């Protein structure tokens, strides 16, 4: 396609029209794209301001997995995902574990890290000594930025200078530990770090007792770390094996649990399996993260760094059978919030918060982890019993029927026909063609 000029300076409709004008066969592209806009003008305004160069709204289903019992509380959990079967899988596991004690979750800490990366040439011991002398004054200078967060129980919780010569010569970091209360805190952390870098640069420059070259520092960058091993949540389900009688159809519970724990052990040891296993966990975590307006890219990067923390990529969950007790647990770092950014601005994220009873960030971490564990349970259960495709493809069938433009009556016939048959796009297409062909042969059956 040809080059576009001045795209960002046009309004939304002008952008759509411009794209249509350079598109071969644009057809009703302009009207169709525009038909996805919100009918509520205030909401539409919010969507148009969330991102740049916006041309349309991209809808995903906002679903609910009901009846999650977490630490004795009941939640009906909003989930946003494009993948059929994820919500059904979460809901099925929530229902099963509701009968067996529910999910127990604990947040292991809420500390996040930010880094000022800098280069400095001089004597490290002297630098550390100087840092010790100016540290409190630097924190005082940051007070205008931190007071409001301090009042909410957050703020700066620690500050160190660390030398990392194995990465680069003369390379140091100011490492800062933060608590960001109920916000995810990225903007707060980055703002504080950039100010801190300025304060640090000035402090060094003002040290008149040092040689000139020691008073200069090159700040490379200031940014939060999305790896939060000290902001972590642990979630588990557990029950005596003799109470778990109804776990899997057509399989006794002992056999099922033995196969289940082996499948999880494989994901602990084999990275090829572990990635898919963890993807099944993130199916649930991401759906909650998206529904509540949180940053799913940060959540994903964080989880996978933790999964490889010991040098090998491993399953985030562990299953054990010990002294007659089955335990299935998940531990992952999770930096999400319930105030600020899209969590507050996005209309659907606000609905999600309301549905969850406007939880704190700590509560939301527990909810997201519980849903991740629930999805993982259902996926591994399906894998070691019926296989993933029987349940999965039945739900996928509906998407295929939609893609093929099947009407309501045809969809019902397709669903019935494939109830016990192997589903594939080709098979559904052929069956639909057959249906339409048969209908032409029997005019009295034709729909009005």
Supply the residues annotated as catalytic.
83, 279, 295, 392
Mark out the alpha helices in 160-231 (DSSP H runs).
186-205
Helix, strand and coil content of the chain, in percent to the nearest 5, comes to 50, 20, 30
Our CB check for ligand MEV shows the closer of 258 and 407 to be 258
Q: What gap in Å lies between CA 298 and CA 84, rounded to an integer?
A: 24
> Is residue 304 involved in binding ligand MEV (CB under 6 A)?
no
Q: Which of 102, 155, 185, 280 binds ligand MEV (CB under 6 A)?
A: 280
Strand partners, 172: 118, 163
3-state secondary structure of 418: coil
> Is residue 352 involved in binding ligand MEV (CB under 6 A)?
no
Our CB check for ligand MEV shows the closer of 382 and 401 to be 382
Our CB check for ligand MEV shows the closer of 184 and 382 to be 382
> Is residue 279 involved in binding ligand MEV (CB under 6 A)?
yes
* DSSP letter string, 18-34: HHHHHSTT-TTHHHHHH
Q: What is the CA radius of gyration of the chain?
A: 27
> Is residue 346 involved in binding ligand MEV (CB under 6 A)?
no
Our CB check for ligand MEV shows the closer of 361 and 380 to be 380
The distance of closest approach from Cβ of residue 278 to ligand MEV in the complex, given in angstroms and rounded to an integer, is: 8
The distance of closest approach from Cβ of residue 397 to ligand MEV in the complex, given in angstroms and rounded to an integer, is: 16
The distance of closest approach from Cβ of residue 88 to ligand MEV in the complex, given in angstroms and rounded to an integer, is: 12
Looking only at residues 370 through 399 of this chain, which bind ligand MEV when binding is defined by CB under 6 A?
A: 379-380, 383, 388
Looking only at residues 282 through 301 of this chain, which bind ligand MEV when binding is defined by CB under 6 A?
A: 283
Residues 118 and 223 sit within 8 Å (Cβ to Cβ): no
Q: Which of 69, 277, 346, 381 binds ligand MEV (CB under 6 A)?
A: 277
**Taking each helix axis from N to C terminus, what angle separates 86-98 and 388-403, rounded to the nearest 10 degrees?**
140
> Is residue 276 involved in binding ligand MEV (CB under 6 A)?
yes
The sign of the torsion formed by the CA atoms of 102, 108, 110, 112 equals negative
By beta carbon distance, the residue nearest ligand MEV is 280
Our CB check for ligand MEV shows the closer of 83 and 98 to be 83
The distance of closest approach from Cβ of residue 126 to ligand MEV in the complex, given in angstroms and rounded to an integer, is: 54
Residue 383 φ/ψ, nearest 5 degrees: -60, -40
**Taking each helix axis from N to C terminus, what angle separates 361-384 and 388-403, rounded to the nearest 10 degrees?**
110
Q: Give the binding-site size for ligand MEV (rule: CB under 6 A).
A: 10
Looking only at residues 256 through 275 of this chain, which bind ligand MEV when binding is defined by CB under 6 A?
A: none
Residues 172 and 118 sit within 8 Å (Cβ to Cβ): yes
Largest CA distance in the chain: 100
The distance of closest approach from Cβ of residue 83 to ligand MEV in the complex, given in angstroms and rounded to an integer, is: 6
Q: What gap in Å lies between CA 432 and CA 427, rounded to an integer?
A: 9
Looking only at residues 49 through 88 of this chain, which bind ligand MEV when binding is defined by CB under 6 A?
A: 83
The distance of closest approach from Cβ of residue 308 to ligand MEV in the complex, given in angstroms and rounded to an integer, is: 18
Our CB check for ligand MEV shows the closer of 315 and 366 to be 315
Residues in the chain: 448
3-state secondary structure of 37: coil
- The residues that touch ligand MEV, with contacts defined as CB under 6 A, are 83, 276-277, 279-280, 283, 379-380, 383, 388
């Amino acid at each position: 396609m040809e080059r576009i000029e001045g795209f960002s300076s046009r309004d939304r409709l002008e952008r759509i029209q411009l794209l249509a004008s350079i598109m071969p066969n644009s057809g009703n592209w302009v009207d169709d794209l525009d038909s996805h806009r919100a009918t509520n003008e205030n909401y539409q305004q919010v969507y148009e301001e969330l991102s740049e160069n916006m041309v349309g709204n991209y809808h995903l289903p906002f679903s609910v997995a009901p009846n999650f019992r977490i630490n004795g509380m009941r939640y009906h959990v909003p989930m946003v995902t494009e993948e059929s079967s994820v919500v059904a899988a979460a809901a099925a596991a929530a229902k099963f574990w509701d009968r067996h004690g529910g999910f127990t979750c604990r947040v292991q800490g809420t500390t996040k890290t930010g880094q000022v990366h800098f280069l400095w040439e001089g004597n490290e011991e002297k630098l550390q000594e100087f840092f010790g002398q100016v540290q409190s004054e630097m924190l005082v200078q940051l007070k205008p930025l931190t007071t409001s967060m301090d009042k909410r129980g957050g703020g700066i919780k620690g500050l160190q200078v660390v030398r990392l010569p194995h990465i680069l010569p003369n390379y140091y970091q100011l490492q800062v530990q933060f608590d960001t209360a109920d916000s995810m805190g990225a903007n707060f952390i980055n703002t504080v770090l950039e100010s801190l870098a300025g304060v640090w640069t000035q402090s060094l420059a003002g040290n008149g007792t040092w040689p000139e070259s020691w008073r200069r520092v090159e700040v490379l960058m200031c940014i939060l770390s999305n790896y939060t091993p000290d902001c972590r949540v642990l979630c588990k389900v557990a029950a005596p094996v003799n109470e778990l009688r109804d776990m899997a159809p057509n399989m006794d519970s002992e056999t099922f649990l033995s196969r289940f724990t082996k499948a999880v052990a494989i994901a602990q040891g084999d990275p090829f399996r572990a990635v898919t296993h963890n993807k099944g966990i993130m199916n649930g975590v991401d759906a909650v993260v998206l529904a509540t307006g949180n940053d799913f890219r940060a959540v994903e990067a964080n989880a996978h760094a933790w999964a490889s923390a010991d040098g090998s990529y491993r399953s985030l969950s562990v299953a054990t059978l010990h002294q007659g007790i089955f335990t299935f647990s998940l531990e992952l770092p999770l930096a999400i919030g319930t105030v600020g950014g899209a969590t507050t601005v996005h209309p659907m994220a606000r609905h999600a918060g309301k549905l969850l009873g406007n939880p704190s960030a700590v509560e939301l971490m527990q909810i997201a982890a519980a849903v991740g564990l629930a999805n993982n349970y259902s996926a591994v259960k399906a894998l070691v019993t019926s296989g993933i495709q029987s349940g999965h493809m039945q739900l996928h069938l509906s998407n295929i029927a939609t893609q093929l433009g099947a009407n309501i009556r045809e969809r019902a016939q397709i669903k019935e026909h494939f109830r016990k048959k192997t589903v594939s796009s080709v098979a559904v297409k052929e069956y639909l063609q057959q249906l339409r062909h048969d209908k032409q042969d029997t005019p009295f059956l034709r729909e009005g």
